[in-house]
Amino acid sequence: MDVPSVMKPEPEFSVSKAFLQRQALFGGFNDADLDVVMPLMARETFAAGVCIVREGETGDRLYFIESGRVEVFKQTGEGERRISEMGAGEEFGEMELIDIHPRSATVRAVEPVVTLSLRNRDLLRLYHEHVEIFSRLLLNLAREISRRFRRAEERML
């Protein structure tokens, strides 16, 4: 039997502006911009061994790892293949915010993990209410996806 993936979101928490400012996706954001984004974030806690997202499932959010480590797996003809490990300060799920396709990989907690997440419906809310912040976030998101693509290409060579 699988362990529940989310141990209740924390009802009251303080998102650290300093933490968000260190994230590539919030590059160029000032305090006022972060004041708009911070209430949209949700903190979630996952136990070691729990699948946070599963390859092939529909996702609706981007995760920023506040603490802990995760492993990323991809299904192959021979079974599950570990493709990377990520830790505090890194994010996953960004492709879901752009292409709205099923998850491209499974992400599993190696140890207890705390994340901040941003749902795609909150991204749409930013578009309607704060188009400049939305545009900056989307540009940063495109840059991050491009960086990851280039690193993947380099590893293939």
Task: Please name which of 106, 114, 102 lies closest in space to residue 72, comparing C-alpha atoms.
Answer: 106
Question: What ranges do the domains of the chain cover?
Answer: 17-156
pLDDT score of 14: 59
pLDDT digits (tens, 9 = 90+) for 28-75: 999 999 999 999 999 999 999 999 999 999 888 999 999 999 999 998
List the strands of the sheet with 69-76, edge to edge: 51-53, 106-109, 69-76, 79-87
Q: Are 90 and 50 in contact (CB under 8 A)?
A: no
Q: Give the model's confidence band at 155: pLDDT under 50 very low, under 70 low, under 90 confident, else very high.
A: confident
pTM assigned to the model: 0.82
pLDDT score of 65: 96
Distance (Å) of CA 1 to CA 5, 30, 50, 111, 156: 12, 45, 11, 19, 37
Tell me if the domain spanning 17-156 has CATH number 3.30.390.50: no
pLDDT score of 17: 84
